[in-house]
Amino acid sequence: MDARWSQLGGNSRKNIAKTLTTTTIALLRTQPTQFDPVKVRTALREWAFNTNRRPDAPREVTAVLRWVERNSLPVSAWEDPEKVDHVLQALDTRLDGKPAAAWSRKRHRRILNVAMNYAVKRRILRANPLPKGRDATTGTKTTNAVDKRCLINPRQAAALLGWIRQRPRGGKRLHAFFATMYYCGPRPEEVVAMRVADVHLPDADAADQWCELLIHTATPEVGKQWTDTGEIHEQRHLKGRAEGDTRTVPGHPALTRVLRQHIEEEELKPGDLLFQGEKSGILAGSVIRRAWRSARKAVLAPHVFESPMGRRVYDLRHTRLTKWLNDGIPPAQVADWAGNSVPVLLSIYARCVDGQLSDLKRRLEAAGDLEDLPTAD
């Protein structure tokens, strides 16, 4: 953790700490009975594997970590295949005993492989003890494809955004936020980072009322204990793009109207955040998620609310990118607007592209059938 800390973002630091915590507990000689299991996991995850916080660990945390140190198996334990299997089983299992999600299992194994390779390079281990080939991926098959059930149809989107707009507390501001996601498909951490100057609005009397968004920064919410600044959010360059890279996305005239009204009513200046929290800071993820969940519960029928349809705010992005593809926008253009590569875009959304089968059939029929050749005697 210390060797890689400065190279990693907050979420990566957090994920490594989770993996190393589970691994450490799995390699104890005996499970702690004098300490609350939750406190043991917290001491490891939040203090032992947090480079910035470790020197300031409180006395009760230090007592737990000293016990863990005394009861940890030596590195030679990795040469025992049964111990390796035990660790992998722990990483593949949730605290309630149920199997962990496939993506979680895959991430744990990837992180643990990095740690093992680190040990090999420094001659702490002779070889990476983790299984390779098919044994390494058993039960961890994953897919990038979006579940079509999570997509939101226009009628549902209108009802959800309309309900949010009527909220007495911050409703109009949140409505503008969700409308931006619905019409332009950016990631949530990109929307909260936008400034007023990043929005190009046409003149009110212009014939073309399409706006344009400049997206150049992301501020993911990772927790203040995992950032170097002590802030809940950290500023990052765009996902999948070179540092300093930008992209522009066209905004529907309906979004132009929403954003123009939002900027005027909030009396925002060019350097201000486009979407602010109540104290003019970054709009908190908890506020966004709570408003979205409340809208779904209020608007949707109970069976739809319990379904995957729009369960996550991110599903607004999935909906927009799918709609662009279904409307016939070339994948290369959609990928550019979305900030993805074309292969990644198609692997995620290929199953959601529909409504084009009849046109494809007409094209295939236009090619004609094989001509009838005379039969040989």
- Give tens-digit pLDDT for 62-89: 999 999 999 999 999 999 999 999 999 9
Q: Kindly report, residue by residue over 200-238, the tens digit of the pLDDT.
A: 999 999 999 999 999 999 999 888 999 988 888 888 888
Q: Kindly report, residue by residue over 8-29, the tens digit of the pLDDT.
A: 989 999 999 999 999 999 999 9
State the pLDDT confidence band at 365, using cuts at 50, 70 and 90: confident
Neighbours of 302 (CB within 10 A): 8
CA 123 to chain CA centroid, Å, is 36
pLDDT for 145 equals 79
Distances (CA, A) of 347 to 233, 291, 310, 340: 30, 31, 20, 11
Mean pLDDT of the chain: 90
Q: Kindly report, residue by residue over 292-312, the tens digit of the pLDDT.
A: 999 999 999 999 999 999 999
Does residue 262 contact residue 170 with C-beta atoms inside 8 Å?
A: no
State the pLDDT confidence band at 134, using cuts at 50, 70 and 90: low
Q: By 3-state DSSP, what share of the chain in percent is helix, strand and coil, each rounded to 5?
A: 55, 5, 40
As a whole-number percent, the residues of the chain with pLDDT over 90 amount to: 71
More confident call, 102 vs 108: 108
Name the pTM for this structure: 0.82
